[in-house]
A and B are shown apart, each in its own frame.
Chain A
Amino acid sequence: MNNDFNSIGKENDGLQDDWLTQNLNITQLEPSTDFTQKVMEQIEIKPSSLNGSPLFWILVTIPGVILLWLILFTLGTLNSNYLSFIPKVANLISIYALSKYVLMITFGGLFFIGVDHFINKRLSHRESYFSFLLV
C-alpha cells in the first residue's frame, strides 16, 4: 500500500484508501495483444559498432597480417641494394608460419566470442549468429 496515504487530505469523502487501492487495481487496462510486437516493429535496432568486438579484431588482424606479408614479398622480389634485407624477412615468414598465425588468431577470436556468449548470455534464439557477433 502507498506509504503517502496519510499525507493527502481525505476526510469525509466516503472512500477508504485500502478500498481504493484494491478496487482501482482492477481498472488497470491492457492494450491489444500484439502491442509489444507493434512497438518492436517500429524500433530500429542498430547493430553496435564493430569496434572492440572479437569479430572486429578477426576482420582487421587477418587481412592485416596477409597484407604485410604480401608487401614484404613484393618488395623482396625487386632488385634493389637498399632492400636486400627484405627477402630474408619475407622468407622468415613462410606460408606455413603465416597459415599457423592466421589460424591461431581465428580460433583465439572464436574462443573469446564463446567466452563472451557464456558469460554475458547475450545470445537469444531470435538473433542470428552474425547479429550476435556484432553485439
Chain B
Amino acid sequence: MIKTEICKLSDEELITLVVKNHPRAMSHIIDRYKGMVFTLSFRILKNQLDAEEAAQDTFIKAFKAINTFRFDCKFSTWLYRICYNHAVSKARVYKPIQVDVDTKFDLPVDTPNALDGLSAKDRSKYLNKAMEMLESEESALLTLYYVDGESIDDISAITNLSESNVKVKLHRGRKKLYTYLSILLKEEVSMLL
C-alpha cells in the first residue's frame, strides 16, 4: 500500500489491518503514537533509557493484545492505559525535589511573560526541567491533559483515578509547575546578574 494512503487511514482501519498482522499498519501505528507514548513514559520514569524501553514494551504488549481491543473507547486511551500501567509498575522510587507550593517567592519577573521572552528551545528546556521536577503522576496527568488534549474522563480511564482526583492532581500539578518554573527562572536571572 502506498505510504500516503496508509497515512490517511483512521485508527480503527489501521487496527483492522494490525489484527491481520499487516506490518506496515503496525509501523504506522507506532509512528503515530511513539512521541506521546515515549513522553508519557519519560514523565513517569524520568529516564530516557527506561522510558524508551517502556515505550517499546507498551507497543509490543498492545500488539499482542490487539484482539482484546473492543473499540469501546479511543485507541489512544487504550494504548496510554497500557503505557501508564507499565511505566508505573516499572518506575523506581523517585524522590522529587520537595518544594512547598504555598511558599511565596520573591520573583524577579512574571513567569509566563519571562518564558515568552525566551526562544522556543530555551522555553522547552525550562518547561522540561520543571516537568521533571514534578511528581511522576502529576507530570503524566499534565502531559495527557495539555499535550495530548485528553478529557478528564479519558484520563480517569487511563490512570484508574476518579475524575475528582484527576482534577485535584491537575490543579496541584499546575501550581507546582508554576512554582518550579519560577525557581528555575530566578536561578537563571541570579546567574546572569
Contacts and interface: CB of A to CB of B under 8 A. Distances in A.
Interface stretch (B77-85, B86-94, B122-130, B183-191): B122-130
A2 B38 CA distance: 21
A24 B22 contact: no
Contacts, number: 135
A39 B22 contact: no
B171 A135 contact: no
A3 B151 contact: yes
Interface residues of B, number: 53
Interface in B14-28: 17, 20-24, 26-27
Nearest to A12: B175
Contacts of B35: 28-31
B60 A29 contact: no
Given A14-B112, A122-B22, A36 B149 contact: no
B38 A13 contact: no
B52 A36 contact: no
Interface string A113-135: 00000000111101100000001
Interface string B139-182: 00011011101111100000000000001101100110110001
Interface string A22-60: 011111111110011011101101111000000000000
A40 to B, nearest CB: 6
A97 interface: no
